[in-house]
Amino acid sequence: MISKGDDFPIHQLPTPVAEVGTERNFYDRYFFNGYNQDGSIFFGAAFCVYPNLNIKDASFILILDGIQHNFRYSDFLDHERMKTEVGSFKIDIIKPLKEIRILLGDKEKEIFADVTFKGRFEPMEEPRMTLKNGSRIYMDSTRMTQHGYWTGEIKFKNTVLNLSQESYQGTRDRSWGIRPVGAPDSQIVPPLKLPQFYWLWAPANFAKQSSHFYFVDDEVGRATNSHCVQQKESLSEKLYHLKKEISYKEGTRRISKAEFSAFKGDGTEVVWTLNPKYHIYMCGLGYMHPEWGHGQFQGQNQSRYDFYDLSEDPHDPPFLHIQAICDFEMKENEVVMKGIGALEQLLIGPHSPSGFKDLLDC
User: pLDDT for 126-159, tens place per residue?
Assistant: 999 998 888 888 889 999 999 999 999 999 999 9
Please report the pLDDT score of residue 14 as a whole number: 76
Residue 138, pLDDT score: 86
First-to-last alpha carbon distance for the chain, in angstroms, is 41
Return the pLDDT at 3.
62
Q: How many CB atoms lie within 10 A of CB 312?
A: 8
Q: What is the pTM of this model?
A: 0.93
Residues above pLDDT 70, as percent of the chain: 96
What percent helix, strand, coil does the chain show, rounded to 5? Answer: 5, 55, 40
In contact, 347 and 199? CB cutoff 8 Å: yes
Alpha carbon distance 60, 67 (integer Å): 14
Q: Whose CA is closest to 284, among 69, 114, 135? A: 69
- Span 13-33, average pLDDT: 76
b/e per residue 62-98 (b: at least 16 CB within 10 A): bbbeeebbbbbbbbbbeeeeeebebbbbbbebeeebb
Q: Confidence band (pLDDT; 50, 70, 90) for 305?
A: very high
- Sorted by where each starts, the structural domains of the chain and their CATH numbers stand as 4-354 (2.40.370.10)
104 forms beta bridges with: 89, 113
Q: Are 50 and 182 in contact (CB under 8 A)?
A: yes
Residue 122's closest CA among 140, 103, 142, 95? 95
pLDDT tens across 209-267, in order?
Answer: 999 999 999 999 999 999 999 999 878 999 999 999 999 999 999 999 999 999 999 99
Rg (CA), the chain: 19
In 3-state terms, what secondary structure has residue 283? helix
Q: Could you tell me if 230 and 221 are in contact, meaning their C-beta atoms sit under 8 angstroms apart?
A: no
Residue 1 pLDDT level (bands cut at 50, 70, 90): low
Give the containing element (helix H, strand E) for 228.
strand 223-232
Provide the mean pLDDT of the chain. Answer: 93
DSSP alpha helix (H) spans, 191-296: none
